[in-house]
Amino acid sequence: MGIAFAILGILVVGAVVGSAINFGGVFLGIPIVFLFIGAVIGKEQMERQQRILRLKRFRREARAQKVDFIPADKRTLTRTDKRTV
């Protein structure tokens, strides 16, 4: 709702400035509104892209890594595997 008021305010200010410059300048506010809308959409897209990159980085860091077990670890693992529950 706040964005709607901001767009309407920019449109009115653009119309007033445009009217002061030229009587047909009411349409000067329309490009200003388009620039504002583009900036808002661009900001949201950048935030979304940053979230995606953070998630990809998290997944890459959380991947399983190969571990070399020492003989004691291997003995422990084989004993655990042979146990019946």
Identify the residue with better confidence: 13 or 51: 51
Q: Where are the domains of the chain?
A: 2-63
Predicted model pTM: 0.46
pLDDT above 70: residue 60: yes
Cβ-contact 34, 17 below 8 angstroms: no
**pLDDT tier at 85, thresholds 50, 70, 90:** very low
**pLDDT tier at 59, thresholds 50, 70, 90:** very high
Gap between the Cα atoms of 5 and 71, Å rounded: 70
Which letter, b or e, does each residue of 29-58 get, where b requires 16 or more Cβ atoms within 10 Å of its Cβ? beebbeebeeeeeeeeeeeeeeeeeeeeee
